[in-house]
Structure 1
Amino acid sequence: MLRLAKPEAPWYYWRDSALYLHIYLQPRASKNEITGVHEDCLKVRLTAPPIEGRANLALLKYLAHCFKVAERQVTLVKGEQSRKKWIRIDSPRDLSLINT
C-alpha cells in the first residue's frame, strides 16, 4: 500500500527528489490539456483512448513533456486500470505547474 507523506497540496507531495502526483485522467478528450483540480486530483484530459494502456502511455509522455524530463523518469505507481492514478516523476526540471 502506498504511504503518503504530508501533501503540499491535495494532489501532490514530495519524497526526496521525486514528485508524486494524484491524477484524474479523462481519456478520449478533444485535446491534451491539464484543466485544474478535480476531486483532490490534478485533472488531465488526453485524446488517447483507454484501450490496451494507450491512455496511460500518453499520460506518462505528456507529463514528461510538462515537467521537462525523460519519459523513463515518469512512472505509473498505482491505478493502471483506474481514472485516478498516482504518478512518480524523478527530479522534475520544470515546476511551474505546481508553483502556480
Structure 2
Amino acid sequence: MGKPKSKDLPDLGHLAQTGTEIAVRVTPKAARNAIQFKNGQLRISVTVVPENGKANDAVQGLLSKAMGVAPSYLQLKRGQAAREKLFVYSGPSRN
C-alpha cells in the first residue's frame, strides 16, 4: 500500500496547540491508512500490524502529517498496547 497523500487527509492543524491532548481510536491491520471522524471521535486506521510499537509509530506519523507538524512533537501519553490512545502535542503552537 502506498502512503496517503496530504490531500487525502483531513486538516488537523487546529490541534497543533502546545499541550493539546488528542484522543484517538486506532484500527491496526486495516486495508488502507486513513483518518476520519466518526460519532464525534477521531479514528485512525493503519495498515501496519500491532507488534513492537510499529502501529503506534504509524499512527504518530499519520497524525503528525495531518496536523502539519513533525512526528517528534507528538508523544504517546496513554494506550501503548490499547486501541484507545492519547497523544500530547508538545511543539510550538500554530496560528
Q: TM-score, normalised by structure 1?
A: 0.69
Q: How many residues align?
A: 79
Deviations 1:49-99 (A, max 9, x none): 1011100010111111111111110110000000000011234648xxxxx
- Amino-acid identity (%): 24
Change (3 A) 1:56 1:17: same
Q: TM-score, normalised by structure 2?
A: 0.72
4+ residue segments displaced more than 2 Å: 90-94
| Maintained 8 Å contact 1:19/1:92 | no
| Maintained 8 Å contact 1:29/1:46 | yes
Which 5+ residue runs of structure 1 have no aligned equivalent? 1-13, 95-100
Which 5+ residue runs of structure 2 have no aligned equivalent? 1-14
**Greater strand fraction, Structure 1 or Structure 2:** 1
- 1:82 partner letter: A
In structure 1, C-alpha distance between the alignment counterparts of 2:43 and 2:87, rounded to whole Å: 13
